Amino acid sequence: MPSPFPLIASPIRVDGVDLRNRIVMGSMHTGLEPEPERFDALARFYGDRARGGAGLIVTGGFAPNRAARVKDHPSLFDSRAAIAPHRRITDAVHGHGGRIVVQLLHAGRYGYHDEIVAPSPVQAPINRYLPAEMTDAQIRQTIGDYAASAALALEAGYDGVEIMGSEGYLISEFLATRTNHRTDDWGGSLQGRARFAIEVTAAVRRALGPDPIISYRISAADLIEGGLDNDETQWLARAVEAAGAGCLMTGIGWHESKVPTIAGAVPHAAFAGATARLKAAVSIPVIASNRINLPETAERVLRDGQADMVSMARPFLADAEIVDKALGGRAGQINLCIACNQACLDHYFLDQTVTCLVNPWAVRELERDEAPAARPKRIAVVGAGVAGIACALEAARRSHRVTLYDAAERPGGQLRLAAVVPGKEDYGRAIDNFENQLAAAGVETVYGTAVDAATLAGAGYDEIVLSTGVLPRALDIPGGDDPRVVGYTEILTGRATAGEAVLVIGGGGIGHDVALFLAHPDPGDLPALAAFEAHWGIAGTARHRPAARRVTMLKRSPGGFGRTLGKSTGWILRQELRDFGVRQIAGVRYLEIDAAGLHVETDGGREILAADTIVVCAGQESNAALATELAARGRPVHVIGGARLAGELDAKRAIDEGARLGNRL
Ligand code: NAP
Ligand code: SF4
C-alpha cells in the first residue's frame, strides 16, 4: 500500500547518519535530566518514541559546564560520570532502530541561579538574576566545554549533538545587539557577535569528526527588539553551515518575546515561512518546528518545500507512536497534542516532572501495567467525557470488555465544549481521534440515552465506573432566572446566542475562555495566519481588529483576573482580552437582576451593569447522583473526574484518574 505521507516516510542522510524518515522528535525537558539515577525512566521514554517510529530524537538540554545550567539542580554533561547513565538512553533508542542526539544548552542569562554569565551584564526581563560579563578566557573555556561535552556524548553512544543556538540562551545573547554590548572581538559587528556561535560549532565538529550529526538550533525569528533581521539570520545560517553544522533546527522567539510561539493561539505551522527563508540560504537539511501536530501539516510543509524535515516535540509526549500511526494508515487514531502546555511546560516551570494532559503515561511509562488482565471483566463506564474515555480505553487495552455510556449524542464532555474557543480548535480534533481509538480498541459505545441505575445494576457488570462529570453552578440571586441569563454550555454549544453587551460571571478558566469566545472578532475572509501575524505584530506593528462584543468579566474575589490560568499560556489569554477591550471588575457582590441590568456592589458603591446577555461561568458541582442510587442497590462504583471532585476540575486530573483506574481494574 502506498504511504499516506510519502514525504514524511522518505529517508534522509544528515552528516554521515541515515535517518529512516523526516520526523524529528524535538528537544523537551522532562524534569528527569538532573537525576541520572532515574535515567531508566528516561531511557524507556525515549526508547518508546524510537519504537514508535521517530526518525531522529533530540534530548532535553544538558549543560556543558556549571554556569550553563538552566536551574540550580543541574543537568550536566561535563564529566565521564555522565557516560554510563546516558548510555542507557542511547542503547534503548538504538535497540528500536532510532537515532538520537543530545542537546547542549548553555542557558546564559536565562539560567535561574546566581552563577549566570552572559556576553554583557544585561538582566533578562524574565529573570531576577543579573548575569556576570564573561571574560575572554571564560568564553574560550566555554567553547572548549562544548567540545568536551560533544566528545563525551560520542562515548555515550549518541549519534551527534544539537547546539542550542536560539530562544535567547547564551548563543543568542552573543548574536543580538540587545544583549551583546561588547567592544572586543566577541561583539560589535555581526561577524564579531557571531564569532562565539561559529567557534562553538567548529569546535564541536572537531570533537565529533565528520560523521556524527551536528544539528544547530538557529533562531529563525527572534521576535524581540534588538534581535537579528532576516538577512542577518540567513548570513548566520551560512556561517554555521561552513563551520560544520550538518542540519539546522528551527527555533522561534526568545523566551522573553511577547509573541506566542507554541500555544494554541498559534496557527499550525505558523513559522514554516521563516524556516523556508533559512532553507533558501543553505544546502544542509533544514527542520521546521512549532505547532506542527498533525502529519497532514508536516507532509504539507515538506511538499511545499519549506523544510527538509519536520520537528514535533510535544506531539511525542501525547503519543509515542505518532509516526508509526501516521505511516501505518492510522493517523486518525493519534493521541493529539492540543498545545495546552498544562502538563508539559507548566510542569517544568513548577519543577514537576513533565507529562502530558492527553497521555498521563508520558515520562511515567514504567508505572503502566501493559500486560493483558489475568481475568478479563465486563466493565461499564458511564460518562464519555475525557475521564471516561481515558478509563474505557485503558481498560479495553488490557483486554477487558468495556461499554461506554453517555447521555449526549457525542463524547467529549467539557473538552468538546471548549473546542469552539479561539485557539482551542485542536480540542475537537483530539476528541475525534479519541473516538477512533475507542472504536479500534473495541469499546462498545452507547450514546444518546441516560443509562439508569436499574439498568446498570441489572446488567451484571463486574465493575461500574462513574465519570458523569459536572453540572454548571447556577447564579443564585433574585432575577437569576431572567431570560438574559444563560449558562456557558448554552453559549459554547450555540443553543444560546449573546447580544452586543455581555456580562460574564466568574473569572476562572471557563470565564476567560467564554469572554474570549464572545469578544473575538469573526475572522471573515482573513486567513488565520494573516490574522495571527497582524494581531501580534510579527513583521510590523500589532493591529487589533475591533471586538465582536462589549464584554465585561466579573468575580467576587479581590485581585487580578487570570491567576489560575496556566503559567505558559495565561499571559496570552490575558493579553488577548486586553486587546479586545474586555473590562474586568473584581471584588463584586452580586445583588439582583432586573430590567435595568445586573446590580452589583463594589468598593466604590452600588452599580447597575446593563447587559443583553449574562453568561454564568460560576464553576460546577459534581454530578454523581447515580453513585448514591447504585449504592442503594448494593452496587459499589468507582467515581472519577469531575463527578468525584468538581472543584478545580480539570482535564489533566480527569484523564489521569481515568487512565490509572482503567489500568488497574
Ligand atoms: P473555576 O476556575 O473554579 O472558576 C469558577 C469561577 O466562578 C470563579 O472565578 C469564582 O470566582 C466564581 N464562582 C464560584 N462560585 C460562584 C457562585 N456561587 N456565584 C458566582 N460566582 C462563583 O471554574 P471554571 O472556570 O468553571 O473552570 C473549571 C476548571 O477548568 C478550572 O479549574 C480549570 O482548571 C479548567 N479550565 C482552564 C482553562 C484555562 O486555563 N484556560 C479554561 C477552561 C477550563 P469568585 O469566587 O471570585 O466569584
Ligand atoms: Fe500537548 Fe498539552 Fe500534552 Fe503538553 S500537556 S504535550 S501541550 S497535550
C-alpha grid cell, residue 100? 538520537
Helices (H) and strands (E) in the chain, counts: 22, 27
Nearest atom, ligand 2, residue 355 CA: 5
* Mutation to probe ligand 2, out of 27, 45, 319, 341 (largest number of atoms < 8 A from CB): 341
Q: Which pLDDT band, with edges at 50, 70 and 90, does 81 fall under? A: very high
For residue 206, the SS3 value is helix
Q: CB–CB of 164/106 below 8 Å?
A: yes
Which residues, in sequence order, are bridge partners of residue 592?
599
Nearest atom, ligand 2, residue 341 CA: 7
Which residue has the CA at smallest separation from atom 2 of ligand 1? 508
- Find the distance separating the first CA and the last CA of the chain, reported in whole Å: 38
Provide the strand spans (E) within 178-291: 213-221, 247-252, 286-288
**Ligand number nearest to the C-alpha of 515:** 1
Which residue has the CA at smallest separation from atom 44 of ligand 1? 509
C-alpha grid cell, residue 531? 490574522
Distance CA 635, CA 114 (A): 59
Nearest atom, ligand 1, residue 557 CA: 47
**Ligand number nearest to the C-alpha of 338:** 2
What separation in Å is there between the alpha carbon of 353 and the centre of ligand 2? 13
C-alpha grid cell, residue 57? 530524537
For residue 513, the SS3 value is helix
Distance CA 526, CA 280 (A): 27
pLDDT tens digits, one per residue of 118-151: 999 999 999 999 999 999 999 999 999 999 999 9
**Residue 649 Cβ contacting ligand 1 at under 6 Å:** yes
Cell 564579531 found at: 192
Distance CA 239, CA 545 (A): 41
Provide long-range contacts, Cβ within 8 A and 24+ apart, for 420-423. Answer: 420/492, 420/494, 420/517, 421/492, 421/513, 421/514, 421/516, 421/517, 422/265, 422/516, 422/517, 422/520, 423/263, 423/264, 423/265, 423/516, 423/572
Q: CB–CB of 579/469 below 8 Å?
A: no
Edge-to-edge strand order for the sheet containing 597-602? Answer: 589-594, 597-602, 605-609
Which residues, in sequence order, are bridge partners of residue 584?
553
Same fold, 6-367 and 378-471+622-664: no
* Mutation to probe ligand 1, out of 510, 552, 598, 620 (largest number of atoms < 8 A from CB): 510
What separation in Å is there between the alpha carbon of 229 and the centre of ligand 2? 31
pLDDT tens digits, one per residue of 325-344: 999 999 999 999 999 999 99
What separation in Å is there between the alpha carbon of 506 and the centre of ligand 1? 6
What separation in Å is there between the alpha carbon of 646 and the centre of ligand 1? 10
pLDDT tens digits, one per residue of 375-422: 999 999 999 999 999 999 999 999 999 999 999 999 999 999 999 999
Mean of the pLDDT values across residues 287-297? 97
The whole-number pLDDT of residue 354 equals 97
Distance CA 609, CA 295 (A): 48
**Residue 314 Cβ contacting ligand 2 at under 6 Å:** yes
C-alpha grid cell, residue 549? 462584543
Q: Which pLDDT band, with edges at 50, 70 and 90, does 522 fall under? A: confident
- CA angle (423, 425, 430) in 5-degree steps: 130
Which residue has the CA at smallest separation from atom 8 of ligand 2? 337
**Residue 312 Cβ contacting ligand 1 at under 6 Å:** no
The whole-number pLDDT of residue 524 equals 80
**Residue 317 Cβ contacting ligand 2 at under 6 Å:** yes
How far is C-alpha 127 from the geometric centre of its chain's CA atoms? Answer: 22
Mean of the pLDDT values across residues 16-22? 98
Mean of the pLDDT values across residues 38-55? 97
Mean of the pLDDT values across residues 285-290? 98
The whole-number pLDDT of residue 479 equals 96
**Residue 339 Cβ contacting ligand 2 at under 6 Å:** yes
Distance CA 290, CA 271 (A): 7
The whole-number pLDDT of residue 649 equals 61
Superfamily, domain 474-618 = FAD/NAD(P)-binding domain (3.50.50.60)
DSSP H helices, 543-588, are 570-579
**Residue 582 Cβ contacting ligand 2 at under 6 Å:** no
Distance CA 279, CA 284 (A): 8
Q: Which pLDDT band, with edges at 50, 70 and 90, does 648 fall under? A: low
Asked if CATH classification 3.40.50.620 holds for the domain at 378-471+622-664, the reply, yes or no, is: no
H helix or E strand, kind and range, residue 24: strand 23-25
Q: What is the mean pLDDT of the chain?
A: 96
Report the candidate in 32, 36, 123, 119 with the shortest Cα–Cα distance to residue 71: 32
Mean of the pLDDT values across residues 528-557? 94
Residue 199 per-residue DSSP state = H
Distance CA 354, CA 350 (A): 10
Mean of the pLDDT values across residues 212-227? 97
Which residue has the CA at smallest separation from atom 28 of ligand 1? 649
Distance CA 529, CA 541 (A): 16
Q: In this model, does residue 647 exceed pLDDT 80?
A: no
Q: In this model, does residue 632 exceed pLDDT 70?
A: yes
The domain locations on the chain are 6-367, 378-471+622-664, 474-618
What separation in Å is there between the alpha carbon of 569 and the centre of ligand 2? 12
Q: List C-alpha distances in Å: 615 to 498, 515, 647.
A: 8, 9, 19
Mean of the pLDDT values across residues 280-289? 98
Looking at the structure, give the CATH architecture of the domain made up of residues 6-367. Alpha-Beta Barrel (3.20)
**Residue 358 Cβ contacting ligand 2 at under 6 Å:** yes
**Residue 342 Cβ contacting ligand 2 at under 6 Å:** yes
For residue 222, the SS3 value is coil
* Mutation to probe ligand 2, out of 27, 294, 314, 433 (largest number of atoms < 8 A from CB): 314
Sign of the torsion angle spanned by Cα atoms 639, 640, 646, 647: positive
Q: Which range has highest mean pLDDT (196-200, 542-546, 564-568)?
A: 196-200
Nearest atom, ligand 1, residue 648 CA: 32
What separation in Å is there between the alpha carbon of 178 and the centre of ligand 2? 32
The whole-number pLDDT of residue 526 equals 86
pLDDT tens digits, one per residue of 181-214: 999 999 999 999 999 999 999 999 999 999 999 9
Q: How many CB atoms sit inside 10 A of residue 246's CB?
A: 23
Edge-to-edge strand order for the sheet containing 501-505? Answer: 485-487, 613-616, 501-505, 550-554, 583-585
Q: In this model, does residue 74 exceed pLDDT 80?
A: no
The whole-number pLDDT of residue 577 equals 97
What separation in Å is there between the alpha carbon of 263 and the centre of ligand 2? 10
Which residue has the CA at smallest separation from atom 1 of ligand 2? 337
C-alpha grid cell, residue 432? 475525534
Question: Which pTM was predicted?
Answer: 0.96
What separation in Å is there between the alpha carbon of 69 and the centre of ligand 2? 25
For residue 172, the SS3 value is helix
**Residue 341 Cβ contacting ligand 2 at under 6 Å:** yes
For residue 409, the SS3 value is coil
Provide long-range contacts, Cβ within 8 A and 24+ apart, for 262-265. Answer: 262/290, 262/291, 262/314, 262/339, 262/341, 263/339, 263/341, 263/423, 263/568, 263/569, 263/572, 264/338, 264/339, 264/340, 264/423, 264/424, 264/425, 264/426, 264/569, 265/422, 265/423, 265/532, 265/572, 265/576
Q: Which residues are catalytic?
A: 169
Nearest atom, ligand 2, residue 314 CA: 6
What separation in Å is there between the alpha carbon of 346 and the centre of ligand 2? 10
Mean of the pLDDT values across residues 611-637? 93
Distance CA 322, CA 6 (A): 15
**Residue 660 Cβ contacting ligand 1 at under 6 Å:** no
**Residue 505 Cβ contacting ligand 1 at under 6 Å:** yes
Mean of the pLDDT values across residues 606-620? 96
